[in-house]
Structure 1
Amino acid sequence: MVCRLRKSLYGLKQAPRCWFAKLMTALKRYGFIQSYSDYSLFTYTNGKTQLNVLVYVDDLIISGNDSAAFKVFKAYLSDCFKMKDLGPLKYFLGIKVARSSSGLFLCQRKYTLDIISETGLLGAKPSGFPMEQNHKLAHASGELLKNPEAYCRLVGRLIYLAVTRPDLAYSVHILSQFMHEPRIEHWEAALRVVRYLKGSLGQGILLRSDSELTLEGWCDSDWAACPLTRRSLTGWLVFLGKSPICWKTKKQPTISTSSAEAEYRCMNGATCELKWLKRLLLSMSVQHPKAIKLLGIYDPNAPT
């Protein structure tokens, strides 16, 4: 006797792994090559025909330069799996994609409205900026929150919102440091970020159609920015042509003994990111023969 177990994709812990293995086998059988820079990216090249498939569990984004090849490949997928074609990309994982002659605009307006509604700030006055410049959140000594789960949930949602909002990178970095023991001051700072969102609902990222496919990075560090550990802060922003595609704010893993050392550590992190992006572009047949520019901000008054 043999029992056949019928479960949904998310029913078993090993199910996503088995599903991805099956999907990967089908794509490779068609001729796709898995990218070593991002294992969820598969590329297909046949002469001048180029197809790209980006996988997130059971959701696929297919892009390419040949409509006929699109139809043939989608017919192949329909034969292999029970697939639903949703047409041109408009909404993916909470991110709205709008097309125009200027390019692609990525926005999370609906997701932002859900955050504001959940915190009960739909009628609140918007804030002009997300966080005070000289805040003292690291030294906060107020009362502990009675419901820390609400703080963790809010910060978690802000982390995902920062995917299309580089202006939230620093605020999210600061707020996420107090997830284990949030206090009243931290909660109020998080609500200030939400009130800032209320005044900037439609902000997002524009991937310009007239951008050159060349990388350029900007980086800067704040020496001994953390008042508790004295670790420096690293921040970088990467452009593809005129479009921002990658950004990050993070504490450095070790203490830098000078501002110059902090800057070099920051440059090292940005350089690693640029090299990874260059390999990712190469896997999509985008050549980058020119040297990548890495720019910084010079402050003559910074301590050394």
Structure 2
Amino acid sequence: METGMLGSRPVSTPIEENHRLALAEGPLLSDAAQYRCLVGRLIYLCFTRPELSYSVHILSQFMHQPHEEHWQAALRVVRYLKGRPEQGVLLRRENDFTLHAWCDSDWAGCPLTRRSLTGWVILLGNSPISWKTKKQHTVSRSSAEAEYRSMANTTCELKWLKELLLSLGISHTQPIPLSCDSQAALHIAKNPVFHERTKHIEVDCHLVRDAIIQGLILPSYVPTKSQVADILTKALSSHSFASMLDKLGISNLHAPT
């Protein structure tokens, strides 16, 4: 109501494919406070709507000086929500309590800093319980390095989740599947030999390697078209977005059970 979008037409994705929001050069928004208020509300909504993580991550980078183009992109998220108000995370009663993690990265995705984007999602049964979209702290010199950093961050999250579930009486004795779409990153994880190409990420290498030896994770390859975490690192087409949304485990909470 505050955005004046009650009569707007819904859209199928929260952010336009092949957007160039980081390079926006149009007029500045006259009321930046309105933009900050809207994006702030969308940040809280990400706690129950993981498919918004990427779009909100992008929008939140322009809080200090938003352009008109950024405002229109934020309104697009509102239009997306208008068309899908019933979606959310449903923790089903018949859950088998198995964990499955997916990690991905968008190498050099930021056109301004050329830092890569990390994204992961962890499913408990068929329901997402942990997800994140975050820009990496340093510039990765290869896509394999960016993917491996994403894998290391996901491993840390899995360690924490495993201990949390154990405190609730749910133990995981088998290695947790970790799906990655980078053959090079998987090769580094399984090969303990370090050389010039991996020396600068040696800490992450040891972290992931130790987790494999301890039986915490079981990394495996998944094709990019089946990579669930892709929805957290890129602006997808409407067809790809709908496909990933279904695999992500987002449910219609208003549907009859």
Q: 1:263 aligns with which of 140, 147, 168?
A: 147
CA distance in 1, matches of 2:56, 2:125: 26
CA distance in 2, matches of 1:246, 1:133: 25
Over residues 149-193 of structure 1, what are the superposed CA-to-partner deviations in whole Å (9 max), with x where a residue is unaligned? 110110010011111111111100100010111110000000011
Q: Name the aligned partner's letter for residue 229 of structure 1.
A: T
Q: Does 1:279 align with 2:163?
A: yes
Q: Name the aligned partner's letter for residue 158 of structure 1.
A: L
Q: 1:186 aligns with which of 66, 70, 82?
A: 70
Q: Does 1:171 align with 2:55?
A: yes
Q: Name the aligned partner's letter for residue 181 of structure 2.
A: I
Q: Name the aligned partner's letter for residue 133 of structure 1.
A: E
Q: Structure 2, unaligned stretches of length 5 or more?
A: 183-222, 225-257
CA distance in 2, matches of 1:148, 1:272: 37
1:1-304 maps to which residues of 2 (within 5 A)? Answer: 117-298=1-182
Q: Which has the higher contact order (CA 8 A, sep 6+)?
A: 2
CA distance in 1, matches of 2:85, 2:4: 16
Q: Find the residue that maps to 1:118 and give its secondary structure.
A: coil
**CA deviation after TM superposition for structure 1 residue 240, in Å:** 0.6
- 2:194 counterpart residue number: none
Of the two, which has the highest radius of gyration? 1
CA distance in 1, matches of 2:48, 2:177: 23
Q: Give the aligned length.
A: 184
* Between structures 1 and 2, the one with greater strand share: 1
CA distance in 2, matches of 1:160, 1:296: 28
**Once superposed, which parts of structure 1, at least 4 consecutive aligned residues long, lie more than 2 Å away?**
297-300
Q: Find the residue that maps to 2:91 and give its secondary structure.
A: strand
Q: Find the residue that maps to 1:164 and give its secondary structure.
A: coil
User: Percent of counterpart pairs with the same letter?
Assistant: 64
TM-score between the two structures when normalised by the length of structure 2: 0.70
TM-score between the two structures when normalised by the length of structure 1: 0.59
**CA deviation after TM superposition for structure 1 residue 194, in Å:** 0.4
Over residues 226-274 of structure 1, what are the superposed CA-to-partner deviations in whole Å (9 max), with x where a residue is unaligned? 0000000111110011111111111111000000000100001111111
Superposed CA RMSD in Å reads: 1.2
**CA deviation after TM superposition for structure 1 residue 297, in Å:** 2.5
Q: Name the aligned partner's letter for residue 254 of structure 1.
A: T
